Structure 1
């Protein structure tokens, strides 16, 4: 029998690649198993969040009304260069398409869409459709017939608006959200003063959200500090009133504030009984009442992130700063507050993001001057059924939210943003 000599070097060279391949295979199997486990949640998020987001973005730029209601006009007017008046085939297509659109509700949507960009377009289209439908025969000379019905058909402005609206996408809604408009010749100018409301609404939304967030931080920080430094027994008792608002409906809480803040409410009655005031204070349906209700809603969202950060700060830091000669105020600002900044950043960003989306609060306890952008999103979606304008305003609110999140993450760090 031939003696066999074991070569450790050769064995290591043979086994190491196989072990490496086996390790890679196990790693990929673990990754695949993890991906399979999170796949249902991923599909759920895409279905409930991704798809509506994409649809909202599409509504904000979509302009299908002319293409659907005036298909022949859309096909003909794209060949027009926009100078002067369009050729006769465009007039003929308009006369025929208006009669067909009048048989369905398509004319209503078309007239509303064009009226967004040119005041009086709705009246022009409905009047023209009515006159054409009453005619016995289609007009031989469509250009002359339309101009005879209304002289505006002989002006280039209406045709330039139709030509621009015939495109599948439009910037009209986003321009309107920033108090801008596009002239019939394509120039972008400021909207008239009586129609320029959205920049003021946007500024009001940011200002009221900032004030409510600042007030919530001022009131919530001492409570979070007390919770973080209380004993375990007292901490559990003190957390109950902080968590209690989550167990009560928002509508019920706001209705309770209406009872408290009204002229004959508990607060005014108590102040009059104590002789502090002679007549009831206006605490409801104004900016003050709105701030009170907003801060009440925001306080739990401020206190809990702050508490989670403050309880991790060792109390020995304050004692060490005091032992080195710092006063309590200086010790707080130099040793304690810098460590609390991540919690403050998380609480402030969370409260601000929530507050810019308030809708029910202003509706129930605020007045017309306290309505924020979310109210107008709901107004255009449910009252005027202007999905494009509602979507554009919603996208702007979403963009503000993302900017706040990114800024908070950059300023306070990843831990602060996720606290």
Structure 2
């Protein structure tokens, strides 16, 4: 009996093994790589190993000890071109002048007579600045918080602590807030449009409901690139919408509906509407309509019965659809790029830019990590609210 149970258990594990391996390859490993690349900072330690050791023991205040200057001079003499180029790219994230500083210092050291190590401070006055050495200490790695802090417009100063990376500017925080604002607006508008439609569909016969759901699915089956391009034709200055409004005499000149926030949200709501309709409709169909009629028969007004009887039962579908629309919208790239302006690009645009354009994988991974953390927090908040309201799944 025990052997039979163990054999059945092994067969069950064998059946789910392909799914586990698929999830491991397509989800767990990529997420792990994002987490690792957001803190991985190996360039300085690979190019200047002795300097990295000296900087690790330096407090970051004032100027480093003479041993750090000696180690840097020796490392710059021996570093190869590829490692120095990689390090220069990493340090240029903080100061674009680092590439020229390292290259010129290396040339001057190689031009010095054999056995003579010139004083770095005499080769370039930047080596007498605390900010130069602090930037190198932040890159001493191999693990650090530079990229994560940069994604939040922060920087570690070893004399004053963590503070703004650029005084008076918050580039990435404004991009993150913009992304959340667009996703929130899209989720709210999708809910406003989907709720009455789902309430209507829930009361129809199966045949009518399936026919109407087919109309909902038709654009969903169309490529997102095709749908977004269609909105370009609809929203442009001489497009269908502006032409119709002008012929009706409602406007005198075309409205600006394209390459702004209006166009982005309009196209996103159209794309995300099915993601709201299906969980909301499933929740509404699971409700016993007799409960609402019973509340009315007991003297409750329609509004009171809707708020106290109907809405709590449909709330799981509302929260599931809203969370799904919000989370999926956070990662949109094509739609804002095609119908939005420079001030409407979402965080996924910058992740793609830093991944394929500037090759700043650390910052791209940190921005992706922020999206992942926000998604997990929202999911936890949703579960907590459902349990608190007594409608969560037990």
Provide the TM-score with structure 2 as the length reference. Answer: 0.92
| Paired residues, number | 392
* 1:185–1:218 CA distance, 2 compared to 1 (3 A): same
Residue 141 of structure 1 pairs with residue 129 of structure 2: no
> Per-residue displacement from partner, 1:49-107 (whole Å, max 9, x unpaired)?
11121111111001100111112322444455656544555334323432443x42322
Counterpart in 2 of 1:11? none
Counterpart in 1 of 2:369? 395
Contact map agreement 1:346 1:417 (CA 8 A) in 2:
no
Residue 214 of structure 1 pairs with residue 188 of structure 2: yes
Residue 327 of structure 1 pairs with residue 301 of structure 2: yes
Q: Please, which of 270, 277, 283 is the counterpart of residue 257 of structure 2? A: 283
Contact map agreement 1:112 1:122 (CA 8 A) in 2:
yes
Shift of 1:118: 4.6
* 1:317–1:68 CA distance, 2 compared to 1 (3 A): same
Shift of 1:179: 1.7
Gaps of 5+ in 1: 1-21
Counterpart in 2 of 1:7? none
> Per-residue displacement from partner, 1:362-395 (whole Å, max 9, x unpaired)?
1011111111222211121122111000000100
Contact map agreement 1:160 1:185 (CA 8 A) in 2:
no
SS at match of 2:242: helix
Counterpart in 1 of 2:164? 190
Where do 1:265-344 residues align within 5 Å? 265-344=239-318
Residue 175 of structure 1 pairs with residue 149 of structure 2: yes
Greater CA radius of gyration, 1 or 2? 1
Counterpart in 1 of 2:51? 73
CA distance in 1, matches of 2:315, 2:281: 12
Counterpart in 2 of 1:246? 220
Residue 40 of structure 1 pairs with residue 14 of structure 2: no
CA distance in 2, matches of 1:254, 1:163: 46
Counterpart in 1 of 2:92? 115
Contact map agreement 2:92 2:98 (CA 8 A) in 1:
yes
Larger deviation, residues 178-187 vs 104-113:
178-187
SS at match of 1:105: helix
Q: Please, which of 347, 357, 365 is the counterpart of residue 383 of structure 1? A: 357
Contact map agreement 1:181 1:191 (CA 8 A) in 2:
yes
* 1:314–1:151 CA distance, 2 compared to 1 (3 A): same
Shift of 1:141: 2.7
CA distance in 2, matches of 1:315, 1:139: 92
SS at match of 2:163: strand
* 1:100–1:352 CA distance, 2 compared to 1 (3 A): same
Shift of 1:34: 1.4
Counterpart in 1 of 2:324? 350
Contact map agreement 1:308 1:343 (CA 8 A) in 2:
yes
SS at match of 1:61: coil
Counterpart in 2 of 1:60? 38
* 1:50–1:126 CA distance, 2 compared to 1 (3 A): same
What is the aligned-residue RMSD (CA, Å)? 2.4
* 1:107–1:416 CA distance, 2 compared to 1 (3 A): farther
Counterpart in 2 of 1:264? 238
Counterpart in 2 of 1:127? 104
CA distance in 2, matches of 1:70, 1:364: 44
Larger deviation, residues 399-408 vs 158-167:
158-167
* 1:121–1:220 CA distance, 2 compared to 1 (3 A): same
Contact map agreement 1:359 1:372 (CA 8 A) in 2:
yes
* 1:92–1:307 CA distance, 2 compared to 1 (3 A): same
CA distance in 1, matches of 2:258, 2:355: 27
CA distance in 2, matches of 1:232, 1:189: 60
> Per-residue displacement from partner, 1:5-28 (whole Å, max 9, x unpaired)?
xxxxxxxxxxxxxxxxx4x55444
Counterpart in 1 of 2:386? 412
Shift of 1:295: 0.6
Contact map agreement 1:346 1:416 (CA 8 A) in 2:
no
* 1:119–1:136 CA distance, 2 compared to 1 (3 A): closer
